[in-house]
C-alpha cells in the first residue's frame, strides 16, 4: 500500500509546481521516470568516497536521480525568492511561507532518506513521520527518540549508542559533501544548493550539540523522568 505526500510550491509570479511522492511499504521511492539521465547523475561522477554501490549494478546514483525533477524546477531560481508551500499528508496539511530554500530543504529532507542511497536509508523512520521545516530542537528530539527506540530493538543492543549515532551522522555529512559537488554541475542559481546546506547543518549540530541537547531536554522531560523514578522506587520496595 502506497503512502502519498504532496508538496505544492506557489511562487510570486503565479507559477505553481507539485511534487507527488508515493512511498512504498518500506517508505522508499521508485526511480523517477526520466527521458534522459543527466551526466551528473552517473554513479562515478563525484562518487561518495564511502559509497558501497557498484556501477555495473547501479549505473546512476539513486539519490541524484530522485533529485532531477526538483532541480528541473528550481535550478534557475534564487534561494531568497519568496514562496508559499503547501504540504499534504494523509493526516494533515502544513503551510510554509518564506524563502524558497526552506521549502526545498524540507522536500529534500523527505526525498533523500527514501531515495535508495544506502547511507541515507537510516533516516527513513524520521521521513515516515515527516515534520516539514523542523527546527533544531524538534529535530534533536525526533532524532534521539527514534534512535534510542531503534537501538533498543537492535540485536545486539549497542554498548555505546552515542558513538554509533555519531558514526551515522559522519557518514551523512560525507554524503552531503559529495552531493553538493554533483549539484554544482546542475544548478544555475543557488536555491537547491542552499537547501542542501541547510540540511547538512543538521549533520554538524547533532554530533556537536548532543550533550547540550540532552541537558536542554531534561526540564521538559522532568514529569516523565520523575514518574519513571517513582515507579522504579516502588518496584524496588515491593521486591
State the sign of the Cα–Cα–Cα–Cα dihedral 166, 170, 172, 173: positive
Same domain for 104 and 138:
yes
Same domain for 159 and 225:
no
Same domain for 197 and 236:
no
Distance CA 107, CA 5 (A): 10
- Measured N-to-C along each axis, helices 191-208 and 136-153 cross at an angle, to the nearest 10 degrees, of 60
What average pLDDT does the structure give for the chain?
86
What pLDDT score does 202 carry?
66
**Residue 220 lies in domain:** 215-239
Distance CA 178, CA 171 (A): 11
For the segment 114-129, the average pLDDT, to the nearest whole number, is 94
Q: Which of 1-5, 96-100, 137-141, 207-211 has the highest mean pLDDT?
A: 96-100
Same domain for 113 and 196:
yes
Same domain for 195 and 78:
yes
Same domain for 107 and 21:
yes
Same domain for 123 and 48:
yes
- Total count of domains within the chain: 2
Distance CA 55, CA 125 (A): 28
Same domain for 180 and 128:
yes
pLDDT per position as a tens digit, 193-217: 666 666 666 676 666 677 777 788 8
Query: Residues 53, 57, 59, 64: what is their CA dihedral angle, to the nearest 10 degrees?
Result: -50
pLDDT bucket at 77, cuts 50 / 70 / 90: confident
Same domain for 136 and 36:
yes
Same domain for 102 and 57:
yes
pLDDT bucket at 33, cuts 50 / 70 / 90: confident
What pLDDT score does 139 carry?
86
Same domain for 162 and 237:
no
Q: What is the pTM of this model?
A: 0.86
Same domain for 54 and 152:
yes
Residues in a beta bridge with 83:
98
**77 vs 238 pLDDT, higher one:** 77
Amino acid at each position: 500500500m502506497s503512502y502519498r505526500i504532496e508538496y505544492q510550491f506557489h511562487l510570486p509570479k503565479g507559477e505553481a509546481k507539485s511534487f507527488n511522492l508515493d512511498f512504498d511499504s518500506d517508505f522508499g521511492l521508485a526511480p523517477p521516470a526520466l527521458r534522459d539521465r543527466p551526466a551528473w547523475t552517473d554513479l562515478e561522477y563525484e562518487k561518495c568516497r564511502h559509497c558501497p554501490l557498484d556501477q555495473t549494478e547501479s549505473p546512476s546514483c539513486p539519490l541524484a536521480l530522485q533529485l532531477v525533477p526538483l532541480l528541473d524546477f528550481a535550478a534557475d531560481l534564487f534561494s531568497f525568492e519568496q514562496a508559499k508551500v503547501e504540504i499534504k499528508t494523509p493526516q494533515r496539511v502544513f503551510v510554509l511561507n518564506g524563502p524558497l530554500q526552506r521549502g526545498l530543504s524540507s522536500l529534500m529532507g523527505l526525498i533523500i532518506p527514501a531515495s535508495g542511497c544506502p547511507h541515507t536509508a537510516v533516516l527513513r523512520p524520521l521521513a515516515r513521520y515527516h515534520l516539514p521545516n523542523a527546527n533544531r530542537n524538534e529535530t534533536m528530539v525526533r532524532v534521539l527518540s527514534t534512535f534510542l527506540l531503534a537501538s533498543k530493538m537492535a540485536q545486539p543492543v549497542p554498548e555505546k549508542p552515542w558513538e554509533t549515532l555519531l558514526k551515522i551522522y559522519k557518514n551523512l555529512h560525507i554524503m552531503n559533501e559529495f552531493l553538493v559537488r554533483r549539484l554544482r554541475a546542475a544548478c544555475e542559481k543557488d536555491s537547491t544548493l542552499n537547501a542542501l546546506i541547510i540540511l547538512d547543518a543538521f549533520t554538524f549540530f547533532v554530533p556537536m550539540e548532543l550533550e547540550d541537547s540532552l541537558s536542554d531536554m531534561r526540564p521538559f522531560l522532568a514529569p516523565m523522568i520523575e514518574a519513571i523514578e517513582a515507579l522504579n522506587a516502588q518496584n524496588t520496595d515491593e521486591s
